[in-house]
Amino acid sequence: MIIDTHTHFYDPQRPQGVPWPAPTHELLFRQVLPEHFRAVAAPCGVAGTVVVEASAWLEDNQWILDLAAQTDLIVGFVGNLDPAGAEFAGHIRRFAANPLFRGIRCGGRAFEDVHTGGLLAGLEELVRHDLELDVLVSKQHLGQVCEVARALPGIRIVINHIAHVPIDGRAPDSEWTTAIQQAAAMPGIYMKVSAVLEQSRVQPAPADPDFYRPTLEVLWQAFGEDRLIYGSNWPVCERASDYVTAFAVVREFIDEKGTGAADKFWWRNARAAYKYVERDV
């Protein structure tokens, strides 16, 4: 079984439209719904997905949950809520009542000052509801992410998009490598191997898995077979390559690690991190 833990669904044809992507973005400004994802991912053996927020509108969290009620393809949803917001606890209670709601995602700005502004108090609500935290960060924020992990030992954190390391076919940036190793030392932090081809400094992104191997090997050595998770970042990944090509790059690398490790990467580790809903996928 394969679970893709990073997709975005939205529909610009709704009466209210969408806050993202902009109409000027010709590639992404289109209907992106479960049936469209199934068409591109099913040939790769993908059976389900965890959807990650693509809208800052509060009620679009409900829109995704309503969408999930119509298809078993969606096994979980990572919402968009401000953990430092005054109404965060109430929002979490509301959405966590739906078992498909599995956590929230925060960007780097949320970690600019971990110990002020109510961030930790909000994230304590995630722990209380057994929800996880996706983080969209770069190397400069990983230290603060580790601070959160130390302050809240029960929290599960999933770093998105390999922490945005530039990939050029050679050994990755040494500062990124050090930050990755420090993050991996925290047992509650997972790494989502997503948007890999988007990090390529060469575009169109090479389809040769060897181009990405030095970076992927650093992640493997740091997080091991128990805390690496598959995600595509579809449809945004199409800015660099098609789904099948991006999937094949990651598949060749992880399959070399053995069937047991591959099984963990494709779905077991995602189950541990997200505690997603086992549906008839």
Q: What are residue 104's phi and psi, to 5 degrees?
A: -135, 165
Residue 57 domain boundaries: 2-274
**Total structural domains in the chain?**
1
The string of pLDDT tens digits covering residues 136-145 is 999 999 999 9
Instruction: Please report whether residue 267 resides in a domain.
Output: yes
Flag whether the pTM goes above 0.95.
yes
The string of pLDDT tens digits covering residues 114-138 is 888 799 999 999 999 999 999 999 9
Instruction: Please report whether residue 101 resides in a domain.
Output: yes
CA–CA dist 18, 13 (Å, integer): 8
Instruction: Please report whether residue 279 resides in a domain.
Output: no
Instruction: Please report whether residue 152 resides in a domain.
Output: yes
Q: Report pLDDT for 73.
A: 97
Compute CA distances 178 → 60, 78, 143, 212, whole Å: 37, 28, 10, 18
CATH of the domain at 65: 3.20.20.140
CA–CA dist 161, 193 (Å, integer): 6
The string of pLDDT tens digits covering residues 72-128 is 999 999 999 999 999 999 999 999 999 999 999 999 999 988 888 799 999 999 999
Instruction: Please report whether residue 280 resides in a domain.
Output: no
CA–CA dist 194, 201 (Å, integer): 16
Q: Report pLDDT for 14.
A: 97
Closest CA relative to residue 191, chosen from 150, 147, 224: 224
Instruction: Please report whether residue 281 resides in a domain.
Output: no
Asked if 103 and 134 count as a contact pair (C-beta separation under 8 A), the reply is yes
Q: Report pLDDT for 281.
A: 58
CA–CA dist 76, 259 (Å, integer): 25
